[in-house]
Amino acid sequence: MDDMINVSLSQAGDRVVILDQTKLPNKVEYIELATAEDVYQAIFHLKVRGAPAIGICAAFSMYVLALSMPQEDYGEFCREFLKTKEHIASSRPTAVNLKWALERMEKVVMSDPSSPVPKICEKLKKEAQAIQQEDMDMCRRIAEYGLSLIKDGDGILTHCNAGPLATSRYGTALGPIFLGKERGMDFRVFADETRPLLQGARLTSYELERGGVDVTLICDNMASMVMKNGWVQACFVGCDRVAANGDTANKIGTSGVAILAKYYGIPFYVLGPSSTIDLDCPTGADIPIELRSPQEIKEKFYSQPMALPETKCYNPAFDVTDHSLITAIVTDQGIFREPYTSSLCGRRE
């Protein structure tokens, strides 16, 4: 997967180039983002997705958009920058990396108001590049820690997509699998299709097949069966936000996998960069959950609607897994276990 870059700057440096994940696995297509609305729509419609990748995209986008903002007056530049930042932040409220990356870019703007705006723009570019490089380094460390929790030949169940497409390299939940493969280890991966948007089917199985990993795609409601059969030795999932008490938000369906794993005595690991830990969010109940269009349930991926137009739908994009169901939270700073209120708060900064 190393040859597939999901977020980058255009050759001219005035646009953000992303791999359109909505077209996978049937078509590899890159698109350019030139306006704030381009960026908003790309994030909202999941053309770029995965908490770390969203953050990287947002950082590069703020640099590109800053180039077309007023360059002579810092006050005007700052006002437009902050307005654009808030607009992009509203595209996906659950993933904390989006807010985190945007705030890092804002800090660059606010930290040196005496500098000429073009100089500030240069600093914004360097900050965005740093965010991307840091994610690569973090993913490698997450992969190392995660690999210590499994052994050659294990069966691993994953939900949604937390591989290179969702990050920069290796991924979070899939990182240990790819790193282990590089070292000659073999794993059997069961990938939930992850309804209603099928990120597991369209993206996770795609990445694993390309990486030469033994992957079996299953419907979400088959997870219990493969666990009961003894085919799963660990569950690895990503996360979009970790609350201070260890509750985690991830793609809808994750909490159900955790409940099943608890029943069958299978360790359930959540993997993500330390930037997803939100110590200002006390519990999972405080995490905002994005609600998406009913059409994603009734019509998306179908040639004709699968429900009547008047049928109501409830379509949350994420659910919250209670900390009591999580065996450990794996980040670039180490492996954290209960009680999370002390272990996460005491992590290295």
At residue 149, what is the residue type? L
Sign of the torsion angle spanned by Cα atoms 34, 37, 43, 46: negative
Distances (CA, A) of 79 to 13, 34, 75, 87: 23, 19, 6, 13
Q: What is the DSSP annotation of 267-308? A: -EEEE--GGGEETT--SGGGS---B--THHHHTTT-SS-SS-
Strand stretches in the chain, DSSP E: 7-9, 16-19, 30-33, 155-159, 188-192, 214-218, 234-237, 241-243, 248-251, 268-271, 277-278, 318-321, 328-331, 334-336
Whether the link from the prior residue into 294 is cis, omega within 30° of 0, is no
* Catalytic choice (240, 278, 319, 332): 240
Which positions ≥6 away from 52 have C-beta within 8 Å? 97, 135, 138, 139, 166, 167, 168, 172, 273, 275
Catalytic annotation on 240?
A: yes
Residues facing residue 252 across a β-bridge: none
Place of tokens 């979009």: 240
Q: Which residues are bridge partners to 269 per DSSP?
A: 236, 328
CB distance 80 to 95 below 8 Å = no
Q: How far is residue 325's CA from residue 236's CA, in Å, rounded to a whole number?
A: 13
Q: Which residues are catalytic?
A: 240
